[in-house]
Structure 1
Amino acid sequence: MPNQVIVPIGDKGQVNLYNGSSGTVDLIADIAGYFTQSAASGYSPLAPYRVVDTRSGVGAPKRQLAAGASVAVQIAGNDKKKLPSSGITAVALNVTATGSPSSGFLTAYPDGKSLPTASNVNFSKGQTIANSVIVPVGSDGRIRIYNGGKKPVSVVIDAVGYYSAASRSAYLPMYPTRYLDTRAKTWKYGPLEGGGYIDMPLSSDYPDVTGWVLNATVTSTKSSGYLTVSPDPNSYQAYQGGWEVWPTKPGSSSLNWLRGQTVPNLVQASTGSTGIVDFWNTGKGTVNLVVDAFGYYQND
């Protein structure tokens, strides 16, 4: 089970990796990048946008990605030019692997560079699994996705933001904090219903906050489904006054699950224009949802 983590560094330049189970585990940790307090590329969040779906031929040929093969993905100028045609240094994605007849892994890396010894998404036979990815963009404005499995696999990629010198938002880490747990006694609404959503006003009073780094976990899942995280068009005042409208759910996903599974994934969530973030349950059965915050992006 892979998961991306963005974590503050301790005073000694270290982080702790803790095993909360009763048994031993083997652990693999790949470093993908770091943030500094000096001037660097800023972040621009996007409403989730599907850039690749090999099942339908979106952004790539309509066929599974062959074993040991890679596919180039156009980043610069994509999303109807919401992704700039130049100047992007890295892109934030949600990458999903599905429908493979064997286990394997996917690796994202900049086009024109050598294949790294690292993985972003690990999958087993027939599994649908997603992971958040931040990957540098090649000088040609593209990235590559490599299938390290022994059999073909379908690949789905949603863009959620990008980094560039022209982007204004800087990342500010915080001590990991639990913002939502539908299992808690303090939460009076119960599990998240199938087809429903929970609106979280993460920064409705702080317009300079443009995005959040969250870890979303679903558990007690009563049917299969997937979670979609997206900005809400309604204001906090609309919800308080009872005149909100039902939002349009975007055609993207943040994590996928089967009945009975507990599945986490890091989410880089855009706050849109209202500072409210929606968490959608696309399954037919209820799920319990846990949301932990690790930091946020803020304009200068």
Structure 2
Amino acid sequence: MQDTRIPANGRSTFAVPQVPDDAVAVLVNVTGANPDGPTTLSLPALGEPTVNLRAGETRANLAVVPIGNHSLTVAAGPNAVEAVIDLAGYYSANGTAKYTPLNPQRVMDATPVGPDGTITLDLSAQVPAGATAVTFNLTAANATASSAVTAYAAGQPKPSTANLTATPGEDTPNLVTVGLSADRKVTLANAAGTVDLSADLAGYYSPQSTQAFYPVSQLRVLDTRSWDGKPRDPITEGAEHRLDLSGWLPAGATAAVVNLTATNVSVATYVSAHPADQQRPSARTISATPGRTVENLAVIAVSADRALDLYNFHGQVDVLAEIAGYFAPARTACQRGCVYGFGTNSDGQAGNGTVGGITAAAAVYGLDSVVAVSDYGPTRYAVRSDGSVWAWGWSAKGALGAGPVGSGDVQGSPTYRSYAPFPVKIPGLSNIVAVSAQVALRADGTVWVWGQNAYKHLGPGFPHGQYDTPVQVTELNHVVAIAGDLDHTYAVKADGTVWSWGWNKAGELGNGTIGTDCESKAGDGDQQPNCAAGIPVRVKGLGNVTKIAPGLAVRSDGSLWQWGPRDTDRQDNAPVRVPGVSNARAVAAGGSNYVLRADGTVWAWGFGWNGSLGDGTEHTSYVDSPVKVKNLAGVRAIGAGVLSGYAVTSDGKEYAWGGGQDGLLGDGNERAKSLVPVPVPGVSGATGLGSNGYAIA
């Protein structure tokens, strides 16, 4: 597909041909050749190096890459290297050929193949009739010359691409996914010299298989080297290291796609990965020798509790592991009370079981009967009709509320991302009627919070710290409504009063005070005078409040009130009435502010970047008086994003405006922008709306 020389610390972007629009990931074989010195080839979409190369070395590694805009970028460094990128296949969201994982089994053992020679691998005894493709780990050993090995369906013309490079004196593995002939055979062709080939079968594709593929942005889940004060913990001779993947794989997942790297090798060895607590097979996942860092992508069946065992044959070795995806049962369509998420999926906030890329509006994995939805940055929350709360997306710093799900800390190893790409139930919460940013309201009027308490916005008077599971705000009761954002939380009591806690640098508490010198001490700004409140304080002068959003309140007479920052130079430290608004019915706050009036119209004010006020104008300064959002009537729910606004109309359609980044209009286009409302494709029958445009339908 691509053959180019990449300069030192340079990169190249190229188109991915012959991939359908519904492809969620591609399989590419990345080969590095003729490097000027020790270097790596990386796919920035994955983060970690795909191939590590010594001077003069030629080597390949298969990679699974979430695909966006039908293009891929490959980077080299620190030295220049020739890169050969071959498209090996793709995974489609609607593909009919699903996967069946197998416990790794050796199907060819050190079989010599001569120059320009071929050998046929007969898999008819291992895979059923009708199987269309197989995945196996191919290893070349005892090569007498530098060579290339190609796998293809028996009886078909040999393709020009190579699956594996063979080097004298080295054992070289690479994962292969290849089509089968009708009689379930694969041909292996060797280009030069003689090489011993071994194959370890990992699974097969067939119309009868049930496991669909879900890609995730590559996340490191194991690193046995020393880091940040953690002592080195290599896998010693004859030992097995258990790798628990339950934090990232949903219940029912049957196989993980893992990029394994072996380094700091004491003597020649191999590492075998297999389902935890099962008998170790003879199959080898990665072979390694001293002085080399070797990587290999593997598709490995997991145990029922979603774990792997990594066995080291000889000496000791450090192992790194990054998840690239997994196989799990294909999702069934949600029928009612579904949450439709869209936009950036960098931390799994689309909730569709994948991570990475920009998504169009689609139902969240496994959720139905939802009555409310909200967020905390890239973390999402939903309340189901049974009063349970479910969370997905970014999971660091306790944001998920469900413990260390999706965090590298589960393994005691470093991670640059922590996420749950599918909803998990938050423990300890029941009879919940509303949810917002790290805060939930029970039917009995009590308030519960979780996450990091950096600016006291958890509220129970706790010191700095992190609360992985919910705790009660004991100072509050008789609460009927809640609202929150990243650093502040608000509650309405049954008597119509409003209470707030958290950060107060710009009057966010609304109690008539404003913080002094709040950022004078790194990490301790909330200790400065009036900069934060850990115990709820009353918002000054407000009563008879019926609806609330961060810094906004609607009173029973339909008047609208605001407090906190307006722009970089102005703030209100106590509520003031928003001019020109009457008969207010609901409010939403984000980068801009929105109010829904009783006549079904929507009005907006605040910052209007990228057209987020929806009035057809791209405002460059703060707008004080609300302007009418164009082309909307019969609106029954509103929502806000950082650069966008959303509305659901009485006919169940969702509309979005603003945008310009992160796919905020819900159409899968990362940079789409509109100065007036446009329909969100794929959403119909909507009954409710949360922040960032997540609709309930």
TM-score bracket relative to the smaller structure: 0.7 to 0.9
1:131 aligns with 2:188: no
**Aligned counterpart in structure 1 of residue 104 of structure 2, from 33, 48, 67:** 48
TM-score, normalization by structure 1 = 0.86
The answer to whether the 8 A contact 2:130-2:182 is kept is no
Corresponding residue for 2:117? 69
Residue 280 of structure 2 aligns to which amino acid in structure 1? Answer: K
Corresponding residue for 2:291? 260
The answer to whether the 8 A contact 1:223-1:260 is kept is no
* Cα deviation code 1:187-221 (max 9, x no counterpart): 55611112111101213884411111110001111
Q: Following the alignment from structure 1 to structure 2, what is the Cα–Cα distance between the partners of residues 71 and 39?
A: 31
The answer to whether the 8 A contact 2:262-2:318 is kept is yes
Equivalence map 1:150-299=2 (5 Å): 151-183=193-225, 184-185=227-228, 190-203=233-246, 206-233=250-277, 248-284=279-315, 286-299=316-329
Corresponding residue for 2:67? 9
The answer to whether the 8 A contact 1:203-1:209 is kept is no
The answer to whether the 8 A contact 1:211-1:298 is kept is yes
Which consecutive aligned stretches of 4+ in structure 1 deviate over 4 angstroms post-superposition? 186-189
1:103 aligns with 2:146: yes
TM-score, normalization by structure 2 = 0.38
Residue 253 of structure 2 aligns to which amino acid in structure 1? Answer: V
* Cα deviation code 1:57-103 (max 9, x no counterpart): xxxxxxx211101111112232xxxx21x111110000011112111
* Cα deviation code 1:4-51 (max 9, x no counterpart): 0011112x22122121x2110000111111111113110111111011
User: Offset of 1:185 from its aligned partner?
Assistant: 3.6
Q: Following the alignment from structure 1 to structure 2, what is the Cα–Cα distance between the partners of residues 4 and 229?
A: 17
Corresponding residue for 2:406? none
Stretches of structure 1 lacking an aligned partner (at least 5 in a row): 56-63, 234-246
- Structure exhibiting the larger radius of gyration computed from Cα positions: 2
Corresponding residue for 1:240? none
1:39 aligns with 2:95: yes
CA 1:206–1:174: 2 relative to 1, 3 Å: closer
**Aligned counterpart in structure 2 of residue 120 of structure 1, from 159, 163, 182:** 163
Q: How many equivalent residue pairs?
A: 270
User: Offset of 1:53 from its aligned partner?
Assistant: 1.4
The answer to whether the 8 A contact 2:110-2:141 is kept is no
Q: Following the alignment from structure 2 to structure 1, what is the Cα–Cα distance between the partners of residues 286 and 115?
A: 23
Residue 4 of structure 1 aligns to which amino acid in structure 2? Answer: L
Give % identity.
27
Q: Following the alignment from structure 1 to structure 2, what is the Cα–Cα distance between the partners of residues 103 and 189?
A: 35
The answer to whether the 8 A contact 2:166-2:195 is kept is no
* Higher strand residue share: 2
User: Offset of 1:248 from its aligned partner?
Assistant: 3.3
Q: Following the alignment from structure 2 to structure 1, what is the Cα–Cα distance between the partners of residues 149 and 170?
A: 13
Which secondary structure does the structure 2 equivalent of 1:32 belong to?
strand
Corresponding residue for 1:18? 75
Residue 66 of structure 2 aligns to which amino acid in structure 1? Answer: P
The answer to whether the 8 A contact 1:8-1:15 is kept is no
Q: Following the alignment from structure 1 to structure 2, what is the Cα–Cα distance between the partners of residues 36 and 211?
A: 17
Which secondary structure does the structure 2 equivalent of 1:3 belong to?
strand
